[in-house]
Structure 1
Amino acid sequence: MSVSVVIHGAAGRMGQTLCSLAKADPELTLAGVVDRSGSEERLAVWGCPMGSDLGEVLKQAPGAIVVDFSSPEASVGVARTVAANGAGAVIGTTGLTDEQQAALRGAAATARLFWAPNMSVGVNVLLKVLPELVAKLGPAYDLEITEIHHNKKADAPSGTAIKLGQCIADARGWKLEEKGNFARHGIIGPRPKEEIGVMTVRGGDVVGDHTVYFFGPGERIEVTHRAHSRETFAQGALRAAKWLSTQQPGKLYSMSDIF
């Protein structure tokens, strides 16, 4: 039996990719598409219920899983809408504040909700192995992160960079919000040992590059993930939608739950 999905933000670049992949997947049914008013021509090509009101589209696709890569405020609205309509949602939006994340957790009490700042299988496997690398190399190695994205990305640093930073900070027994340095300028003095630099680069059409550096005495290790296509994230989100369709409300799920 196929899983019904509704794509929120279906007229955008990621939305179009999600629609194409959902249409081609025999385990999925594209049950609806949603985007702002004025997008009707781009939505009509998918031949399914469409509109600018997610709640109204969900009435025509009961129990569907919404896939959303929009904006923090809009994603909170998606979570509340699926909770009110007995649906579920996979959210890949980045840049959510602590309050917005708390709103997702609140909605997850009554709705099937999944949120991950990066849907790439590779990145999430990387999050599993980085703590061991931090532990084995020890405190002599300085930890730094760089991230590169296209020039239209709204938030910085990326949600993935923050997640990577939290991962390696936790492995040191630190909190990223206390040890993270997100900008360096001027006469800043020697680098503190208990610091994680997280640097942002923007330009062109880069889908997403992330590198974690381990700078040690006489050597350095660089662990890099490069996303070659938005399909990487779209495929991960659709995989999550299939998985979420068999789960129960009560928890804000993430990629670690799938693994």
Structure 2
Amino acid sequence: MGAALIAAVGATPELQLAGLAERAGHPAVGTKVVDKLTVCANATAIAHSCDVLIDFTTPEALAGNLEAACAGKCAILVGTTGLDASHHAAIDRAAQSIAVLQAANTSLGVTVMAALVERAASLLGTDWDIEIAELHHRHKRDAPSGTALALGVAAASGRGVALASVAKRGRDGIGPARVAGEIGFASLRGGSAAGDHSVLFAGEGERLIISHHAEGRELFASGAVRAAAWLGGKPAGRYTMAQVLGL
């Protein structure tokens, strides 16, 4: 993802790459990359010299990156997935002093897809069953994906309910019939798939499917860079990709 972000920044005339950071002990630390920038061992070393940090790391690294952004008084875009309630609480705290945009997926297409899913869920009644399926490469560890969960939140929001109260993660064996209003999830892992997501609205005698297929990481980097350009200079607060597109 780092290489894709570097390329995306380079292709955006109004942006300039200010610094690079990797985890301590990574082979790239200390080496010079684009524009003769040296890769640092943490985000603190670069936060004071940039307007926006872009974080695609791990949940374990998030707290340190948020602290670095707050100390450097720069905005931060969090594209890291696999976050839990404690991570979102940390993001909320940081958003009290800096601009934070957290997104499970920075694809512009997925952003529009989520808006369509919310709208469809609001128009179709609970007699339309909702199932969300996602496919990712064999190395992805979290399931359902952050994007699938975000789509679930969008669908639940369209129905005016909390996702936690209606989510059904996986089915196996013989069980009770499907509960009206629940939102199901199915996760597939295999090959090198960058990310496929489909939301099925199943009614009596008809089905509506809203899908997005990612063909590479470049689209995520492109969306993240566009969002970072939008985020720079914003007042403290928590922002979304939907706001970037004016949705």
- TM (norm. structure 2) is 0.93
Which position in structure 2 is the counterpart of 1:136?
123
1:143, distance to aligned residue in structure 2 (A):
0.7
1:42, distance to aligned residue in structure 2 (A):
8.9
SS in 2 for 1:151: coil
1:174, distance to aligned residue in structure 2 (A):
2.3
CA contact (8 A) 1:142 1:214 kept: yes
Q: Where does 1:69-218 land on structure 2 (aligned, <5 Å)?
A: 69-218=56-205
Gaps of 5+ in 2: none
1:53, distance to aligned residue in structure 2 (A):
2.3
SS in 1 for 2:67: helix
For the residues of structure 1 that align with 2:232 and 2:26, how far apart are their CA atoms? Answer: 31
For the residues of structure 1 that align with 2:79 and 2:240, how far apart are their CA atoms? Answer: 10
CA contact (8 A) 1:31 1:49 kept: no
Change over 3 Å in CA distance of 1:196–1:162 after alignment to 2: same
Between 132-141 and 185-194, report the one with greater CA deviation.
132-141
Considering only aligned residues, what root-mean-square deviation do their CA atoms show, in Å? 1.6
CA contact (8 A) 1:34 1:43 kept: no
CA contact (8 A) 2:22 2:29 kept: no
SS in 2 for 1:181: strand
CA contact (8 A) 1:124 1:255 kept: yes
1:213, distance to aligned residue in structure 2 (A):
0.4
Which position in structure 1 is the counterpart of 2:39?
50
For the residues of structure 2 that align with 1:128 and 1:43, how far apart are their CA atoms? Answer: 42
- 1:29 and 2:40 aligned: no
For the residues of structure 2 that align with 1:58 and 1:257, how far apart are their CA atoms? Answer: 24
Change over 3 Å in CA distance of 1:81–1:41 after alignment to 2: closer
Which string of whole-angstrom CA distances, capped at 9 and with x for unpartnered residues, describes residues 136-184 of structure 1? 3323211111011111112111111001111111222322112111021
For the residues of structure 1 that align with 2:195 and 2:65, how far apart are their CA atoms? Answer: 25
SS in 2 for 1:28: coil
Aligned length: 243
Sequence identity, in percent?
A: 37
For the residues of structure 2 that align with 1:195 and 1:77, how far apart are their CA atoms? Answer: 37
Which string of whole-angstrom CA distances, capped at 9 and with x for unpartnered residues, describes residues 172-210 of structure 1? 232211211102111112111121111110111101110
Which position in structure 2 is the counterpart of 1:222?
209
Which string of whole-angstrom CA distances, capped at 9 and with x for unpartnered residues, describes residues 34-93 of structure 1? 11234237952322142102212334x2x4311111111212221111101112211101
Which position in structure 2 is the counterpart of 1:239?
226
SS in 1 for 2:187: strand
Structure 1 runs, 4 residues or longer, greater than 4 Å off: none
CA contact (8 A) 2:122 2:158 kept: yes
